[in-house]
Structure 1
């Protein structure tokens, strides 16, 4: 049971996949067809250009033979494009033939008349023209042309007849002339296509499809290819394979429209199918295109075929558009309410974001201040660490030196060398050397903490006012004063006491250096403290 169930699932899955693939393939080709319809004017201009070129050649043709041939080409271009103009060039063919009459041409012109009247829906007149011809007396090209035309004429009459009995009569005639055509037409693509058509109408579409597929692998002109595609659509219609029928009708319509043919059957049949598949918009586009072309060509049968189905598609299209408009109004109302809600929400969000922005700004400023304070604390800690270590060492050194100095004085006193003792006591050499050593230690310690101080300090001064220590100096007096200021010692009395200068001397140095500042002289010392 399980195995059967899984097999059933696989089969269903395969069928579903095939259907989806066909649908996807059809959608691609239908989109391509939609694009071609939107560019229909471009293809019409190309056909008009080809017609105009032939007209120019006809105008400058010198021989009646060439003029007759060019009129025949113009007739063929106009036949399924503009039937009235095709009739005009039949008359011109008659004129050029009358100048040098040829019996085969007389027959060709009669069949031309019948063919164009069949396109225009004048079936009785077309049959009257054709029945006046004895096909057994015709040459091979005219006989083949005759059977093609009379078969098509009876086919059109069958399509245009409501009475089933009369329709069957016309279909029998169509089949008879098709058989006659198959007897005389040379073996080749056209023979195979007509044979496939016969097989389809006799209820053997499965035999017709391989024949047509083989034809499509050979080199075909556009008209032959359209004929093969259309016959394939009939085969798949007989098999009730809608997707493949749609595909081959779309292929036929593509060739019709890119060739700028206006008398055709594929597009209106395709319109019916896509309508039944639930796409009234596309069906409306196809049926509208078909109606415009049928009117422009004066193809009565095609116009009747379109008008028969046009009201149904038009109503479905109108209903769908009305429903879309209702949905659009509902959607617009919903969007309006949503927009109002969003505006209100945006208003509240704006105020909330404004408050949040202010808080972030305050927080950012606080963070900056904290970073600055932390940096200052780190620097202060480093200064304390360096200077405490240095000056503890210095104090111990001073104590050692004072001990040595005391012992030297003690030795002089014990030796009763009074004069040398007084001389040593009165000498300032010891203090000068110690002060010098003290300042050297201070300078070294400071530049360890602030290695770029001299460069940064000079950047605050004008070029003429820059200060550089002399050879052998680490810092001179001016630099040492501002080094103390950088360390936070801004009181003039403390600076004067530290350096052993008078208060006036310190003021003079500070004032002199301040006057050399490049920027604001009032904020100069603050800038030094920020170095």
Structure 2
């Protein structure tokens, strides 16, 4: 169980380390992309430093000071613009000729060999170095000599196709590296050279801790770049591409920030990112390397770039062409989709207009239906009220007729013939019953239409308004139009209901119609809508 748990933890740790390494690699590459985009700024910064030293040189009066300033300018131009570096070697020669010193002569010779190596003039560089006798050199020049001749043989090995010759140059490089290790004092430079030797002898695992320790100590920019580059060589030997990319990117970042133009890290990095399937970034890196190599006149670096530039350029061009094709396809697709959406929008617009019109018609129909329902409800209510009143009135009439019959029967049984005829001839009973009937009608109507009198008067002129007299519920005019409101519009039926002649009803209707505010012909229709 413990072994399984240990295995799971080991796998998880490896997975997290892998994810962390990929994140670090991506971040450093993004920083490098940003640095490439700011190359002009870094160039201006370096030019500003060069310009300041040139001004100091112009104002200097001491030849020793002038020689020293020319040396500073040589170092600034060496990996930036080799032709200018040659110019300041000649200036150093001139100022040294005014006050000759043997150590300076040797330094100038090594300077000349170094700049020729940068420019790819390896035979000339070696010829210059072979004129120097190492056992005659003091410590600073001896270290400089071994650094330069080792680098020169290394460049020649890198630039040689013949394997036998290449091995010869590599042995020479190793020989001078060993000589350098013998004279270098303990410190960062010696440890970096020692780590390089260990890597080339197949001891990359032992070299990595040494280099990591070097990076924890105080280093100048050039030493830090050298340490990073050597670490990339160690991981290259271990075939750990992610870490190799990371340290090459760190080296290239320092080169770009310092506006160095002769370098190996960025072009190696271009090859690796291309192999990892990122031709666009590789093209950006290799283009930057080529421009800097040409600007510096660094022949070896230019040749190294041109070896694989066509491959990356073709891959980049193919990718761009594919992206262009995809862009056209996408544009056509988007255009087709846009046309489809426009047509769909027009279709939906017309559909929505039709739907809106249908909704309006439906709303209108609903309103009419609601009004009709209200009318039906009102008609039903009218019928309910008047049927109930009619039934009550019929029962009441039957009761009264029964009482009237008994009163007549009593008169007849009492032989009161004169009183009997008098009662029969009297109209008081019918007049009273008609009055009660109209009162019941008026009450029932106003229960159904409590605002009828007010609403009816709103249809009339101010002078023609009708108000019932005290003690009246409705007067004759109002009762006629109350019947019209109930739907009784026939003049004969109105006259019969009220006990008036047909002419009287016509007169009342005409008189009231003439008092109307609006259209007199539609007056009664307005009344029916109250």
The two structures share one fold, judged by TM-score above 0.5: yes
- Give the TM-score taking structure 2 as reference length: 0.70
The 5 Å alignment of 1:152-163 reads 152-163=151-162
Helix, strand or coil for the counterpart of 2:239?
A: coil
Task: Tell me the distance in 2 between the aligned counterparts of 1:408 and 1:277.
Answer: 123
Q: 1:328 aligns with which of 313, 325, 329?
A: 325
Check 1:397–1:35 CA distance in 2 against 1; reply closer, same or farther (3 A cut).
farther
TM alignment of 1:92-491, pairs within 5 A: 92-94=91-93, 107-133=106-132, 135=134, 140-218=139-217, 220-277=219-276, 282-314=281-313, 320=318, 324=322, 328=325, 360=355, 363-364=358-359, 367-395=362-390, 398=393, 426=431, 430=436, 433-434=439-440, 436-444=442-450
CA distance in 2, matches of 1:480, 1:103: 144
CA separation in 2, counterparts of 1:82 and 1:480? 120
Where 1:169 maps in the other structure, the secondary structure is helix
SS of alignment partner, residue 186 of structure 2: coil
d(CA) in 2 for partners of 1:512, 1:47: 100
* Secondary structure of 1:81's aligned partner: coil
Taking the aligned partners of 2:108 and 2:180, their CA distance within structure 1 comes to: 20
Give the stretch that moved more between structures: 356-365 or 472-481.
472-481
- CA offset digits 1:10-50 (Å, max 9, x no partner): 99999999878866765665455445445543443443344
Question: Quick check: 2:79–2:262 contact (8 Å CA) kept in 1?
Answer: yes
Q: Is the 8 A contact 2:483 2:494 kept in 1?
A: no
Partners of 1:484 and 1:495 within 8 A in 2: no
Q: Provide the aligned length of Structure 1 versus Structure 2.
A: 502
Q: Which whole-Å CA distance do the structure 2 matches of 1:83 and 1:166 have between them?
A: 27
Q: 2:415 aligns to what?
A: none
| Aligned residues: CA RMSD | 5.8
Match of 2:80 in 1: 81
Q: Give a deviation string over 1:372-426, Cα, whole Å, max 9, x none.
A: 344334433443454444444544565577678778978998897979x766765
Give the CA deviation at 1:231. 1.0
What is the CA–CA distance in structure 2 between the aligned matches of 1:480 and 1:215, rounded to whole Å? 120
Q: Which has the larger radius of gyration?
A: 2
Q: Give yes or no for contact 1:284–1:317 (8 Å, CA) kept in 2.
A: yes
Cα deviation for residue 186 of structure 1 reads: 4.0
Cα 1:344–1:40 change in 2 (3 A) is closer
CA contact (8 A) 1:108 1:142 kept: yes
Q: Post-superposition shift, 1:230?
A: 1.4
Aligned to 2:517: 512
371 and 107 in structure 1: CA distance in 2 versus 1, 3 angstrom threshold: farther
Greater displacement, 357-366 / 260-269: 357-366
Q: 1: CA distance between counterparts of 2:177 and 2:494?
A: 130
Q: Tell me, what secondary structure is at the counterpart of 2:449?
A: helix
Tell me by how many angstroms 1:197 deviates.
Answer: 0.6
Distance 1:479 1:22 in 2: 102
1:460-514 Cα shifts (integer Å, max 9, x gaps): 99xx99x9x99x99999999999999x89697979998999922244235x4156
Q: Secondary structure at the match of 1:161?
A: coil
With over 3 angstroms needed to count, the CA separation of the structure-2 counterparts of 1:13 and 1:491, relative to structure 1, is farther
Does 182-191 or 405-414 show the bigger shift?
Answer: 405-414
Which residue in the other structure is 1:518 paired with? Answer: none
Structure 2 stretches lacking a partner, 5+ long: 412-418, 499-504
Q: 1:443, 1:480 within 8 Å by CA — same for their partners in 2?
A: no
Query: Contact (CA 8 Å) 2:42, 2:256: kept in 1 or not?
Result: yes
Residue deviations 1:293-326, cap 9 Å, x none? 11110111112222334445456666x469849x
TM-fit CA distance, 1:347 = 11
Distance 1:426 1:223, change over 3 A: same
1:114-135 deviation digits (Å, cap 9, x = unpaired)? 3222212233443444444555
Residues 132 and 443 of structure 1: CA distance in aligned 2, closer, same or farther (over 3 Å):
same
Asked if 1 retains the 8 angstrom alpha-carbon contact of 2:442 and 2:479, the reply is: no
Worse-superposed segment, 205-214 or 355-364: 355-364
Does the aligned pair in 2 maintain the 1:387–1:445 contact within 8 Å? no
Taking a change above 3 Å as real, the CA distance of residues 186 and 10 of structure 1, as seen in their structure-2 partners, is: closer
In structure 2, the residue corresponding to 1:116 is in which secondary structure?
helix
**Superposition deviation, residue 289 in structure 1:** 2.6
From the superposition, tell whether residues 368 and 183 of structure 1 become closer, same or farther in structure 2 (CA, over 3 Å). same
